[in-house]
Each structure stands twice: as structure tokens, then as C-alpha cells.
């Protein structure tokens, strides 16, 4: 069975940056299950998986435009230390902003904290090594909810 819209696919993957450094991997864990065609993966990954079958093993290069987007300088801003409610703030820490977006602290200088709301992988090419493990028809509930249920997915 091929991966097409409204199929549930299970994949193993390793994600590397352009220098070969591993950024994420499913190695040693359960495969990643997702509902194809519902935007549950970055666009370049879904496009690269379209038509693949169990047993397929391939490399996939995803451009920033099809991954997490280009870096947007408007997503970087300076805020006062008081915005953090007196807690200790260090470079590299991540916080949920009031609107739910995750921001990363990139600089702390006196009372000024620079935060970056860009995704940490924005602006980067993503290099995936992918193995398709399983493909099955999605259930009516999975299609209605837009995500996988049961093993490897959400249970409600």
C-alpha cells in the first residue's frame, strides 16, 4: 500500500543538518505514526513521502521554504527582564509567550533580554534518512480528527 492522502504511515527517520550532525532521530524508539495529507508533518517531508511503500528507504533534502521557513528578523525582539516575573533567565532557555508561541532567549544584557520566536530549525536545510515501516488506511475517526489514534497516535 502506498502513502497517499488519509493513509496512516509509520516511519523511522534520522534528521541531520548540512554538516551531518544528528538533530533528531526515531532510532531506539517506536516509529513516528502520522496521518498523511493533513499537515501533520512539514510540507517537504509529506511531499517526499507521497507514494512511498513499506520497506522503502531513502534520503530526503528539505529546503527551508518546505521545512520551518526562512528566518524572519521581525521575530527577534528585546524585552525587559521584568517580563519574566523575576525568574532566572539564561541564553538558550525557551518560554511560551502569552500567545502560546515558543521563544528562545538569545541574549541577556542587564535588564534587556533578546528573544527569538523563529523555529530553531528555520532557515536550515533538513536532511532526512527515512524508512517507511507501515502504511494502512485511516479510520473514519482519524480522518475526522485529522490525526492518528491508537498505537503510535492520540487516544481520546
Q: Is 98 or 144 the better-scoring residue by pLDDT?
A: 144
Same domain, 31 and 81: no
pTM of the model as a whole: 0.82
Instruction: Give the model confidence (pLDDT) of 44-99 as tens digits.
Output: 999 999 999 999 999 999 999 999 999 999 999 999 999 888 889 999 999 988 77
Q: What is the pLDDT of residue 122?
A: 95
Q: Provide the domain limits for residue 84.
A: 73-116
Residue 151: pLDDT band with limits 50, 70, 90? low
Report the CATH number at residue 34.
3.10.50.40
Let me know if residue 16 belongs to a domain: yes
22 and 63 together in one domain: yes
CB neighbourhood size of 103 (10 A) = 20
**Residue 40 confidence class, pLDDT cut points 50, 70, 90:** very high
Q: 31 and 107 share a domain?
A: no
Give the list of residues 6+ apart from residue 37 with CB closer than 8 angstroms, or none: 4, 5, 6, 7, 46
Task: Quote the number of domains for the chain.
Answer: 2
Cα(131)–Cα(31) distance, integer angstroms: 9
* 109-129 per-residue burial string, b: 16 or more CB within 10 A, e: under 16: eeeebbbbbbbebbebebbbb
Determine the pLDDT at residue 98: 75
Amino acid at each position: 500500500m502506498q502513502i497517499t492522502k488519509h493513509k496512516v504511515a509509520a516511519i523511522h527517520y534520522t534528521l541531520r543538518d548540512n554538516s551531518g550532525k544528528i538533530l533528531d532521530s526515531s532510532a531506539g524508539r517506536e516509529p513516528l505514526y502520522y496521518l498523511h495529507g493533513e499537515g501533520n508533518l512539514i510540507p517537504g517531508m509529506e511531499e517526499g513521502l507521497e507514494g512511498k511503500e513499506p520497506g522503502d528507504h531513502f534520503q530526503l533534502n528539505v529546503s527551508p521554504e518546505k521545512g520551518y521557513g526562512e528566518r524572519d528578523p521581525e521575530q527577534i525582539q528585546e524585552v525587559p527582564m521584568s517580563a519574566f516575573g523575576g525568574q532566572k533567565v539564561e541564553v538558550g532557555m525557551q518560554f511560551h509567550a502569552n500567545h502560546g508561541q515558543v521563544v528562545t532567549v538569545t541574549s541577556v544584557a542587564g535588564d534587556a533580554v533578546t528573544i527569538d520566536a523563529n523555529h530553531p530549525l528555520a532557515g536550515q536545510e533538513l536532511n532526512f534518512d527515512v524508512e517507511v515501516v507501515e502504511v494502512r488506511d485511516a479510520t473514519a475517526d482519524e480522518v475526522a480528527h485529522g490525526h492518528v489514534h491508537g498505537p503510535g497516535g492520540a487516544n481520546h
